Every structure is written in structure tokens, then in C-alpha cells.
Structure 1
């Protein structure tokens, strides 16, 4: 791998452009960098203190830019707060009358560039809030309050909660606890359109990195397809594979592709393995039992606007020559049918493990239900 900035280097770069809050464990090894002025985004984390590896993807050019870019400001960051749906008749990324094309697509400013106010902070957590208004493709206006808490979790505690032993591995873990409140006077329904809380993590790709999504077994007649693989055209066979337990998706940052799993197939976890950096990444999230209404983000007028995905993985690449690329692990809340004053919540926990391969393999088997060797041999 080419030389990469340490966590301390990334924080110094971020801090030269934006006020940056660093959450730290007592021993100074596990750290998380948060930028409230960019939608309360978690940018990166480490298992090794300031000199340790930096796990989040940062787009230096966008972060350093003095101008706001059209469409989207792809700063990077390993946990950003978004809302869905992106496309369809209830989209909030398209205005009434728009065509579902990249020319008309626009990320709403409250989930792209706006600053969230810091309510409180301590050594291991920061609480932020923001009031925002969104209008969907059908013309309905959502008045909202966003409350977002970022919390560093002790690695030993995170492992205990997953019923796994940490062994000699190092771990950094953090939660984003995201609450969306309807501050308007009208209820959000299937007729008006609803919002979902959508958390997305951008990570550094490599030639051999593979995203892993365990799936629930069951017949297609009751559970639907194991994976949706046609977001940007069908994913080529050499980039996507599955066994009887998990989906394997190439995360090399070289081809723009995306996959997703529906509520019947999704489990409360996904992750990735980067053998070049020797980093096992796990994302756990709140998955309510028995809920099947999720917003549909497909860029079209939809027959089933509430038959969307719970988990997505996106692989960037091939759009702008020479641009920095990344891959994403994404999870969503159900569609939020909120009456005035009601709130919906989505909690996402990101964990990175480094250390002896035997420990990482044991953790991977326990949490993702596959071995590191299975992941490495799943795709060419």
C-alpha cells in the first residue's frame, strides 16, 4: 500500500480547515474525530492513537475547498447522517418536476454542508442538534429536528456485548445515535411520503478489499431476492458472489456499483475485510423485528415506494479520472410514520479490529459467520 497519513495527520489536516472534536479512550489509543460543522460527521478513527492508522476516507480537495460544490460535497467520513428516500415520487434529492437524472439530482444542504450545533461534549461523546426542512418530489414539506450523538465505546465493552473475546486484537468502536423528530403540524404517512434515517460510512478501498453482508436464509417467494444488484446496471459477476450465508462485494474503488438487501434478508450486521491493511470492519445497527416498510431510493417513479433496502454497499470509481475513490457500508431505519411531535431513531455502531490474524479470523467467524479465507477466496 502507498504511504498514508496517520490518524494524527488526518486530524491535523481536518483541524486546519474545520473545528474538529477528538473523542479518546483513557489510554489514548482508541480515538474518533468528529466535525460538527459538516452535519456532525464522524470523519475517521484509530486503534493506535495519533500515530496509528486512520480508518476513514477523506477527500482532501473537497475538505480544503473554499467553495460549496454543486450536487454534493463529498468530504468523506466514516459515518455521515443522511435521510432517504433519494429517488422516486417521495424523493428528497429531487424537486417537483425534476427528471431522475444526475443533472437534476441535489443533496439537501442540511445533510450535506450545514453545521450542527454542539449541545454538550465530554471526553468520549458529543451531542449535536439541528433544525431542518425538506421538501419531497411530491411537494410535501417535512419540518424536522435532528439530534445526533457520537459516542466512543470501549473495545472490551463492544466485544462483551457481541459475546466475543478480543484476544490480542486492538479495537476502536463508536456509536452514532440518530433521532429525527417531526416538528411540523402534519403526520408523515404513505400518502405524503415518509423519511428514513440513513447512515453511510466511507472507507479506503484496496484491490483485495471485500464488503461482506450476511443474509437471512429463506425461499425467494417469501423473502425476496438475496441481493439487489442492478442500481447502476447489473454488477459484473467478477464483483459479486454469495454462499449460503453471506454476500461478497468487491470494494476496490474502481467501478461504480451498488448492492442492497431487503428487510427479510437483512441481519443486524455487515462489514468488510481489507487484507492489505489487515483491517476488519464491522457495522452493527438497530434493526426492528418484523418491520418491512423501508423507503425506496431507486431513481424512477416506483410501483412500491416502501419496498426499499435496509443495508447497502456502494463501490465508487470510474466517474472522474484521477479522483479519490472509496467504498461505503450503509444502513437505514424503516420508513418513519411520525405524527407531529413523534420521533424515530437509528443507532449505528462502527468497529475496526487490527492485530493477529487468528484473532481477526475468530471475530469475523463469530460476527459475520464467514472466515477471512472464505472472504479472500470469494472473488477473483
Structure 2
């Protein structure tokens, strides 16, 4: 680990100017005095601008040790990662300290310093969970418990425990954690988790999305490489396995739509009744695309099974002009764990992709508001020392609408006008 990264991880940053000074001193940039003055002038009021990356950096550095990573070829593309939150990417920006902050953050819960029962929704636009959530192989319910909210408990290994930052540099950070989980059937899993976060260069973005974004667009892209290694006894499918589950929480708006393209088959394998049937004015299927309202005002979730899913999805916030794309590993013929809160006749027929719109629960409470884009890994019965790896990439673009539209057409297969008009 470099000296700069150690300082970031152990002590955090005292303020924005210290961050700038550390970065410039570490990388030996020229004209430090002029650069510092220019950045100081542009960030004097950053802490008074809610919704900006600088605002969230100022808040988070007071709460936990953190690491700020940036793209090697684009210093304005930055992300905040916190080891105490399982190596979670809390937020990112495409435009430096004064740019939009894309991740949803639960300020009240974090600032309280208190932990809640069942789950601690700290927020963050990319976090690691493990599946399955429900069923006879669940790791969220104790053996013999009823599948209801009262008995639902997120394992501390993916909720409150800290992960060790074992290596980092300007654009990457790697975290590790060992732990033991027991599933509903009484099977123990001894595992080692490795999570490597990388901010992507423009060349990387072009490679993964197979498109060259317009130079008029501001952008940020990052990848998580997630590995679970079996360091205990051999697994067997009849006693349960584990899967990697990546969830990204974003800020909603009145004009946000989530986009889930799917393969054009005779029967799309889409589930839309996790929390009750989603009304037609909130979810529409047009050709081979599902459009799902992302305003954070009505609780609902959709899921695509592996044969129907594509390895990418997205969201468009027409209010702020932000196009978000997620890309992930997909095995259309693999086994995916099912997570619904019930015993499963086919526990390995779960979803590869999910989208969630937050809203009030039956008791009137609400965690957010936020929206989520989620991906799952396939699973297998690991022998001792074998592992499962899952990659999840997140991209944000903003700027010229025509350039955003060109990007959306190539990657998601839809025009922005279609996205904006479908759920009106």
C-alpha cells in the first residue's frame, strides 16, 4: 500500500484542501501553487452544495476512514470507498468535487453511529451482499424460523463488519475478509471474500461498452471484482451454496426510469410481484425492454432470469440529464440462487438481474428514497480452495443530450425519447 493510501485509509481527510494537497504532492504534479489556488477557488463553498461529490466527501470523512480513487487519465472521475462498510463504493462523480454525487447515502443513520436490527441501510452506490436471501438455503433466516420480517436478519459479515484494505494505489483498492455463515438448512460456510475496486480509464470504458463516448460527455466508470473462496469443507447443492449479489443504490427523481433490456424470446422470464403486482403506469414492457419508474415513491421490484437477461441495464434521470449503465457477468445456462421468502421447489432458478424502486412499507416506514440496480452471480458447489468470481461495472454519463442519446441507442438499444415517454 502506498503512503498516501495508508494515510487515507487510517486517518481519512481533515478537509478538501488536504485531499488536494496530498494528491498533488504524492504524484509530483507541476505548478502546484497555481493548481492549488485554482482548485481552492472553485471549492470554497463545496460543503454548502448538497448533492455534490464534495458535500458527500466532507460528510463521510468525518464519519469513517475512507479512500478516494480516481481514473488515471481523468482526475475528475472519482469514487469514495469505505472499508468499514465492506469495501463499499459510497458514491462517485464525473466532474470532480463540485460534480453530481451519484450514490444514495443515508446521512441520518451514518451520523447517528447506531446500528439497527435486521439491516443497516447505510447507502452506497455499489455494495456486496451474498445470496440466497430466502428459501431453505437462506443465510438471512435461522434454521426453522418463519420467513417473515421479524425473523429476517442480514448477516453481519455483509452488513456491519469491516473489511481490511490490503492493497491500494491511485485508481484501485483491494479488500479482504474471512468469516463463517450458516444457512437455513444448518450448513456452515467458511469463506474468504476478496473485493477489488478499480476506477476505469476511457480506454477501459470503450472496451467494456464497445462504444466510443462523445468527448462532450462527462463520465466516470468503475468495476468491482468480487471473489468468494471456500476455505472450509466441500459444498453440495443439496445442502446449499452461496452466490455473489451486488446492489447499487442511487438517488431517484420524478423523471428517472430504469431500463432492463431482455432477450427477444417467446416468453420473457420476468418477475414483477415481489412486493405486490406493480401497476401498469409504473412498469411497461415495450418490445424487448422493461421500463420501470424510479421515483422512490412506490415499493416494487422486478427480476430477470438468466435465459432472459442481458449483461447490462441502466437508468436515465431526465431531470438531471444523467445516464447510468451497469454491466455484469452473466451465465445464461448457469445456476442462480432464488431469494424469495419461501421454500423453493427449484432453489437454483433465481434472477440474474434485479431493479428496485423504494417506497413505503406496509407499516408506513421507508428506508430511502432510492432506486437500486442489482446483479447476481451464478453459483456452484465449490470444493475446498475453489472460488466464484463476479464482475459488476457502473458507468455514469452526463452532458450533451444528443451524445447521451447516441450512447443509449448503442448500449441499451433505446432512444432517450422512448425512455422519457414510455411511463408518462
Residue in structure 2 matched with residue 295 of structure 1 by the alignment: 337
Cα displacement (A) at 1:62: 1.2
Residue in structure 2 matched with residue 240 of structure 1 by the alignment: 283
Q: 2:271 aligns with which of 228, 233, 236?
A: 228
Q: Distance in 1 between matches of 2:245 and 2:104?
A: 18
- Do the aligned partners of 1:286 and 1:348 also contact (CA within 8 Å) in 2? yes
Residue in structure 2 matched with residue 191 of structure 1 by the alignment: 238
Residue in structure 2 matched with residue 90 of structure 1 by the alignment: 137
SS at match of 1:363: helix
Q: Distance in 2 between matches of 1:112 and 1:23?
A: 23
Q: Distance in 2 between matches of 1:96 and 1:379?
A: 43
Residues 105-144 of structure 1: matches in 2 within 5 Å? 105-144=152-191
Residue in structure 1 matched with residue 53 of structure 2 by the alignment: 7
Residue in structure 2 matched with residue 304 of structure 1 by the alignment: 346
Q: 2:319 aligns with which of 276, 288, 301?
A: 276
- Higher mean C-alpha deviation, range 84-93 or range 331-340: 331-340
User: Counting helix residues as a fraction of each chain, which structure ranks higher?
Assistant: 2
SS at match of 1:374: helix
Q: Distance in 2 between matches of 1:341 and 1:232?
A: 38
Q: Distance in 2 between matches of 1:81 and 1:196?
A: 11
Residue in structure 2 matched with residue 313 of structure 1 by the alignment: 355
Residue in structure 1 matched with residue 30 of structure 2 by the alignment: none
Q: Distance in 1 between matches of 2:243 and 2:154?
A: 15
Cα displacement (A) at 1:288: 2.7
Question: How many residues are aligned here?
Answer: 372
Q: 1:370 aligns with which of 392, 414, 421?
A: 414
Residues 43-58 of structure 1: matches in 2 within 5 Å? 43-58=90-105
- Cα deviations by residue, 1:271-325 (Å, 9 ceiling, x for unpaired): 100001110000001113532x110001011111111000000111113557531
Q: Distance in 1 between matches of 2:332 and 2:117?
A: 39
Q: Distance in 1 between matches of 2:358 and 2:405?
A: 27
Q: Distance in 2 between matches of 1:362 and 1:4?
A: 30
Q: Distance in 1 between matches of 2:259 and 2:60?
A: 30
Residue in structure 2 matched with residue 358 of structure 1 by the alignment: 402
Q: Distance in 2 between matches of 1:321 and 1:296?
A: 26
Cα displacement (A) at 1:226: 3.7
Residue in structure 2 matched with residue 181 of structure 1 by the alignment: 229
SS at match of 2:417: helix
Residue in structure 1 matched with residue 22 of structure 2 by the alignment: none
Structure with bigger RCO (C-alpha 8 Å, 6+ apart): 1
Answering whether residue 304 of structure 2 is matched by residue 261 of structure 1, we say: yes
- Cα deviations by residue, 1:112-138 (Å, 9 ceiling, x for unpaired): 011000111000000110001111111
Cα displacement (A) at 1:155: 3.0
Cα displacement (A) at 1:243: 1.2
Structure 1 unmatched ranges of 5 or more: none
Cα displacement (A) at 1:227: 1.4
Q: Distance in 2 between matches of 1:178 and 1:322?
A: 29
Q: 1:153 to 1:210 in 2, by over 3 A?
A: same
Q: 1:166 aligns with which of 202, 208, 213?
A: 213
Q: 1:286 aligns with which of 314, 318, 329?
A: 329
Q: Distance in 2 between matches of 1:177 and 1:322?
A: 31
Q: 1:101 aligns with which of 128, 148, 154?
A: 148
Task: State which structure, 1 or 2, has the greater radius of gyration over its C-alpha atoms.
Answer: 2
- Do the aligned partners of 1:182 and 1:341 also contact (CA within 8 Å) in 2? yes
- Do the aligned partners of 2:87 and 2:127 also contact (CA within 8 Å) in 1? yes
- Higher mean C-alpha deviation, range 279-288 or range 318-327: 318-327
Residue in structure 1 matched with residue 109 of structure 2 by the alignment: 62
- Cα deviations by residue, 1:213-237 (Å, 9 ceiling, x for unpaired): 11011122xxxx4410011111111
Residue in structure 2 matched with residue 20 of structure 1 by the alignment: 66
- Do the aligned partners of 2:68 and 2:80 also contact (CA within 8 Å) in 1? yes
Name the TM-score, length of structure 1 as normaliser: 0.95
Q: Distance in 2 between matches of 1:149 and 1:378?
A: 37
- Do the aligned partners of 1:245 and 1:369 also contact (CA within 8 Å) in 2? no
Residue in structure 2 matched with residue 72 of structure 1 by the alignment: 119
Q: 1:287 to 1:323 in 2, by over 3 A?
A: closer
Q: 2:386 aligns with which of 331, 337, 342?
A: 342
Q: Distance in 2 between matches of 1:155 and 1:9?
A: 26
